[in-house]
């Protein structure tokens, strides 16, 4: 390990510790450390823009604006009323919302899922006068879980599909066996039971509403549904620009603003939705992207991949185990996209050296890297987005609040998937 690589690791570690300790200052800490990476030369000027995932930033900005129009239309309040009519207790409402978020995120980006489902959860919590923090955390971690279920569920799934030449259906049935979709859903069932246990004290019955909320403007709802449909369609288009999803969200938000101005005929119709965009969350993600670009340039991620290779040795089961659990741990602290991009060729080389089918290693890598972000509040963009939503509502999310749900949820999801994948593809 070179001294410059060591410096990069130390700066990155210090930044994460500070962000965990001082949650209110996370965006400024991330951006400040990102500047240090740039000034020190650990992130060259030529790699600044390539390190930033503009697609995610544009998606967040566009979807936040769309969601504000959606909220103003009172549709989340109506959906909250419908959910409250169907479930019997606060506990079941929390589990139902988490499962609903998981289903959506199997086909739509995790961040967009959180932005779409969170307003419904907030409305339910307002009506029940209960703390929304655990509800939003449950929604965020559930959306992360389902990212590996389908080819279009997450960027890492798309990367694996492209690298291994897998189709959409291969995630359901691959090489004559049930695919990774069923491993994820098995984990989803177990993690749903864990959520039910975590919310076990929320047994109070949900009061029946005297009448449902009336929605008179359906245009924002149709724009949001159209956004989901276009994101799904775009996922099947090969060789599309990297910012396609972001441009879809921003374009539909622009359409919504024009409609809002025509309808209301005042400047607040534009300023209100724009003010709803959480620029602190965008700043935090921007800083994280630059820091990760810095450690990637300094060879830290490649060194982590090489270490996994050494730890695995020549035993296939040990190698599979190391890849799964190391991926969980590593992706709890760094973005899983550069990690998976680095590990895919490493896994292929390991499989070739052992003269084995790489499928179990591919699926183990994807499941571990996708779920690892649920361990920490800043381990995944969906977590950061959910916490940002709560902050705007005036709630502070402590690390302990997140760990109480994130850690048992992750273990409940990854353990059955880990066993399933080995039994299906490792033996």
What torsion, rounded to 10 degrees, do the Cα atoms 182, 183, 189, 191 define?
Answer: -150
What's the pLDDT score for residue 342? 67
**Cα(72)–Cα(93) distance, rounded to whole angstroms?**
23
Give dist(CA 74, CA 72) in Å, integer.
5
Side-chain-side CA neighbours of 363 within 13 Å: the count stands at: 29
Please name which of 334, 401, 422, 410 lies closest in space to residue 371, comparing C-alpha atoms: 410
- Report the pLDDT value the prediction gives residue 308, as an integer from 0 to 100: 66
Provide the pLDDT for residue 12.
85
Helix (H/G/I), strand (E/B), else coil: 361:
helix
At 392, list the tokens: 């705007």
**pLDDT score recorded for residue 60:** 75
Q: Which residue has the tokens 């965006």?
A: 27
Cβ atoms of 202 and 94 within 8 Å: the answer is yes
pLDDT, tens digit only, all 427 positions of the chain: 577 788 888 998 898 788 878 877 888 998 999 999 999 989 999 999 988 878 878 877 887 788 788 878 878 777 777 777 788 888 888 888 888 888 878 877 777 788 878 888 888 888 888 889 999 999 999 988 887 888 767 767 877 876 787 777 888 988 889 999 999 999 989 999 999 999 888 877 877 766 777 888 889 889 988 887 887 788 777 778 878 888 998 999 999 999 988 888 776 777 878 877 878 878 887 888 898 888 888 888 777 767 766 776 668 888 899 889 988 988 887 767 667 766 777 787 777 777 788 899 999 999 998 888 888 887 887 888 899 889 888 898 888 889 999 999 989 999 999 999 999 998 7
The beta-carbon contacts of 317-323 under 8 Å, at least 24 apart in sequence, are: 317/422, 317/426, 319/350, 319/354, 319/361, 320/360, 320/361, 320/364, 320/422, 320/426, 321/418, 323/347, 323/361, 323/364, 323/365, 323/368
* 386 Cβ contact partners less than 8 Å away, ≥ 6 residues apart: 114, 118, 136, 137, 139, 140
**In this structure, what token pair is assigned to residue 176?**
């004559």
- pTM score: 0.72
Residue 193: per-residue pLDDT: 93
Distance CA 42, CA 52 (A): 15
Least Cα distance to 392 among 220, 136, 127 occurs for 136
Contacts of residue 398, Cβ cutoff 8 Å, sequence gap at least 6: 23
Q: What phi, psi does 331 have (nearest 5°)?
A: -75, -5
**Residue extents of the structural domains in the chain:** 3-151+160-426
pLDDT in the model for residue 137: 93
| pLDDT value of position 1 | 59
Task: Give DSSP secondary structure letters for 98-140.
Answer: HHHHHHHHTTS-HHHHHHHHHHHHHHHHHHHT---HHHHHHHH
Distance CA 329, CA 297 (A): 21
**259 SS3 class:** helix
b/e burial code for range 19-52 (CB count within 10 A of at least 16 → b): beeebeebbbbbbebbebbbeeebbeeeebeebb
| Positive or negative torsion for Cα 116, 121, 126, 130 | negative
């Amino acid at each position: 390990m070179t001294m410059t690589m060591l410096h990069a690791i130390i700066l990155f570690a210090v930044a994460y510790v500070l962000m965990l300790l001082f949650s209110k200052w996370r965006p400024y800490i991330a951006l400040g450390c990102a500047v240090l990476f740039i000034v020190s030369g650990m992130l060259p000027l030529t790699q600044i823009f390539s390190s930033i995932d503009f697609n995610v930033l544009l998606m967040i900005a566009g979807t936040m604006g769309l969601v504000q129009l959606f909220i103003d239309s009172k549709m989340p309040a109506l959906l909250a009323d419908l959910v409250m009519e169907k479930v019997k207790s606060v506990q079941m409402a929390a589990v139902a919302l988490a499962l609903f978020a998981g289903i959506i995120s199997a086909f739509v980006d995790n961040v967009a899922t959180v932005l779409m489902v969170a307003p419904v959860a907030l409305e339910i919590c307002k009506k029940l006068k209960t703390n929304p923090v655990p509800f939003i955390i449950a929604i965020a971690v559930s959306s992360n879980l389902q990212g590996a279920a389908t080819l279009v569920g997450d960027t890492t799934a798309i990367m694996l599909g492209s690298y291994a030449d897998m189709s959409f259906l291969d995630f359901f049935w691959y090489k004559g066996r049930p695919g990774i979709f069923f491993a994820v859903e098995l984990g989803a069932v177990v993690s749903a039971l864990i959520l039910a246990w975590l919310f076990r004290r929320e047994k109070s019955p949900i009061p029946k509403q005297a009448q449902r909320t009336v929605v008179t403007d359906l245009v924002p709802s149709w724009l949001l549904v159209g956004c989901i449909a276009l994101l799904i369609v775009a996922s099947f288009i090969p060789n599309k620009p990297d910012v396609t999803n972001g441009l879809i969200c921003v374009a539909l938000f622009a359409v919504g603003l024009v409609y809002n101005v025509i309808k209301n005929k005042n400047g607040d119709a534009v300023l209100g939705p724009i003010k709803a965009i959480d620029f602190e969350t965008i700043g935090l993600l921007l800083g994280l992207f630059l820091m990760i670009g810095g450690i990637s340039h300094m060879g830290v991620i490649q060194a982590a991949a090489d270490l996994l290779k050494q730890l695995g040795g020549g035993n296939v089961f040990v190698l599979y185990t190391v890849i799964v659990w190391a991926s969980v741990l590593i992706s709890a602290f760094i973005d899983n996209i550069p990690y998976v991009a680095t590990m895919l060729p490493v896994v292929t080389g390991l499989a070739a050296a052992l003269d084995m089918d790489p499928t179990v290693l591919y699926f183990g890598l994807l499941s571990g890297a996708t779920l690892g972000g649920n361990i920490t509040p800043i381990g995944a963009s969906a977590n950061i987005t959910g916490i940002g939503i709560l902050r705007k509502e005036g709630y502070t999310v402590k690390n302990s609040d997140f760990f109480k749900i994130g850690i048992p949820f992750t273990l409940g999801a990854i353990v059955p998937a880990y066993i399933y994948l080995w039994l299906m593809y490792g033996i």
